[in-house]
Amino acid sequence: MSDTREYVLVLVVEDNNERVSDFRRWLAHPSIRLLHVKTGDAALRCVETDRYDLILLDHDLDLQHPNGRLGQVNGTNVVERLVASRVNRMTPVIIHSMNPGARNRMFQRLKANRFAVEIRPFAEWSDAWAGELREDLLLEFQADRGSPQ
């Protein structure tokens, strides 16, 4: 997080609005900004154009596709783009997908490429755990800026 931004930037890749509302509530703080995208395509554009302090990544994206099928770009495609990109491998990625097979494959691919990655299925998120995550983000941000805690 060593740049001139005055806030922590979190990319939320999730197509479920209720989950996004929960992420916004859990990470609410004046020094944290969430950028929410619903599709894999939008996520790919984001990781190519900006730097994030945390990426929250789902697998099964584009669920609002007009014909009811999954879209063409999912979390696995986002992972492949992250691996191929110059994204800082220390940027934490939390895979919150409820799809066990896909999330495990995504995790293994990122881990094999030395990303700071963990799995935290959405159903396992809680106010307490998310509060700890928020505080850790803020502590790291303050440390990088040389600000007092």
pLDDT digits (tens, 9 = 90+) for 94-103: 999 999 999 9
Give the tens place of pLDDT for each residue, 112-134. Answer: 999 999 999 999 999 999 999 99
Looking at 23-32, 44-53, 83-92, 140-149, which range is the least confident one? 140-149
All domains in the chain, ordered by first residue:
8-144 (3.40.50.2300)
pLDDT band for position 138 (50/70/90)? very high
Is 94 in a helix, a strand, or coil? strand
pLDDT band for position 1 (50/70/90)? very low
pLDDT band for position 149 (50/70/90)? very low
Q: What is the arithmetic mean of pLDDT over 52-73?
A: 72
| pLDDT top residue among 95 and 73 | 95
Q: What's the chain look like in SS3?
A: CCCCCCCEEEEEECCCHHHHHHHHHHCCCCCEEEEEECCHHHHHHHHHHCCCCEEEECCCCCCCCCCCCCCCCCHHHHHHHHHHCCCCCCCCEEECCCCHHHHHHHHHHHHHCCCCEEECCHHHCCHHHHHHHHHHHHHHHHHHHCCCC
Q: What is the arithmetic mean of pLDDT over 57-68?
A: 68
